[in-house]
Amino acid sequence: MNERGGVYAPITCDCGHQFKEPIAGVELESHIFTCPSCGRSDNFTGDQISRMVADYEAAVAEANKLIRQTAKEVSRAFKGRK
């Protein structure tokens, strides 16, 4: 989902064209995207939005876990230097 600092959703249009749609800072429920190949406009379904939110929450939880682990390791390293 992350590409050079942005957050993107992979899209496969009914015409078969695959592209990535930027979703950072957009209202997913009302966001309309357009296929760059055929010009068809569409929006996300409730199920797609639920999956994106769940993926995002899982990524945040994993990042927080890694931050806590790193902080503990750094703290232990500095305590061992005394």
Residue-level pLDDT, tens digit, the chain, 82 residues: 544 568 899 999 999 999 999 998 899 999 999 999 999 999 999 999 999 999 989 999 999 999 999 999 999 888 866 5
pTM, two decimal places? 0.69
Host domain of residue 32:
2-80
- How far is the C-alpha of 24 from the C-alpha of 6, rounded, in Å? 7
Instruction: Give the model's pLDDT for residue 5.
Output: 63
The contacts of residue 75 (CB under 8 Å, 6+ apart) are none
Domain count within the chain: 1
Cβ 23 vs Cβ 29: under 8 Å: no
